[in-house]
Each structure stands twice: as C-alpha cells, then as structure tokens.
Amino acid sequence: MTKAHVLVAYTDDEPGVLNRVASLFRRRGYNIHSLTVGPTEQEGVSRMTIVVNTDEVGAVHAQSNLEKLVNVQKVENLTKSPAIVRDLILLRVAAEPARRAEIMQLATAFKATAVDVAATSLILECSGSAGKLDALLDVMRPYGILEMGRTGVVAMARGAGFYGAQSSHTGSESLVPNYVN
C-alpha cells in the first residue's frame, strides 16, 4: 500500500548534494512531495526532510540508496517513529475591512498571526501539523485564498533525539498534508 514516508537525512553541506539526492529519487521513479533543507547545529552539516509517497519496500529502498551516497552521513525513516512534524504556511486571504475582524478571530483559533495587512487582503502565518494547516485552509477558503506558500515538512524524532533512545510517547501526528495522501 502506497503512503507518505518521511525520511530525514544528515548530509555534508556542500554544493551538489541536493542535486544528487533529488536525482536519486528521480532515477528510481519516486515523486518527492516535500523537500526541506537547512543547516543543523553542526557546522558543515545540512538536514534534509524528504516526504515521498511509496510503499514500505520502496521506503526501505529509498533509505538504503540514500545511505549509499558519499555525502550522506545518516538517514532515518520517521514514518512509524514518534516524531514532531511541522509545516509552515503563508496565506494571503481576501480581507475587506468589514470582514477583517472575523477573519482574524478565526485565524487566532489556529494560532495564526497576521504578518501583513493591505487594503483588500492580509497575510497569515501559521505553523503546525499538516492537519492543522489543512483545517486553516478549509476555514479560510470561503473568504478567498489569493495566494499560498507552504514550506514543506520538517520532522524530528521525539525523545533523546536522532542518535539517542526514543521517548516512550506513542502519539502520532499527521505526517503530511491532505494533498499528499
């Protein structure tokens, strides 16, 4: 059964590494739904969070192929592990002055904040699980979504961390936005 898998890879922070990782997925016919890359607490090391829609065997193959790349230091599949999974959205909503307070009240329920206000619209910023952001989109759709940008998933194992023992917490969060599954 095909489902979204979240892989986290620590890589050397060097030119060409992102291209090699993306090419690996392309060559094997995987569609990357989300890819976020950024620096880590260690200088010279980048962290990639990759969401790919595949079956269990495909996820195992993707992980083992990633681990074979020279610039990849370590890879973990967080799909079944207790993890904190977050996404960020910037959302431009049509907001005539008469409806602005109503929109802001709804945004507050999602802990979204207005980061820009224009004459006929406002931009909301919100982070959280994919389910929370999908619900925010559903609530804002009737007002008119003018523009949207999502960062993609960033995930971190619960507990002692990537290299340590995991927490006994077994709660799970929605790993990916509704549009992936």
Rounded to an integer, the average pLDDT of 89-111 is 96
Do 106 and 23 fall into the same domain? no
pTM of the predicted model over 0.85: no
What's the mean pLDDT when you consider all of the chain?
89
* Terminal alpha carbon distance of the chain: 11
Residue 11's domain comprises 3-77
Residues 154 and 130 in one domain: yes
What are the tens digits of pLDDT across the range 56-80? 999 999 999 999 999 999 999 999 8
Query: Which pLDDT value is given to residue 25?
Result: 93
One domain for residues 35 and 57 = yes
The pLDDT of residue 159 is: 85
Residues of 160-177 as b/e, b for ≥16 C-beta within 10 angstroms?
A: eeeeeeeeeeeeeebbbb
Q: Are residues 50 and 111 in the same domain?
A: no
* Each residue's pLDDT tens digit, 7-43: 999 999 999 999 999 999 999 899 899 999 999 999 9
Residues 96 and 49 in one domain: no
Query: The domain spanning residue 110 has which CATH number?
Result: 3.30.70.1150
pLDDT at residue number 178: 55
What's the token pair of residue 34?
């989300």
- Co-location of 61 and 138 in the same domain: no
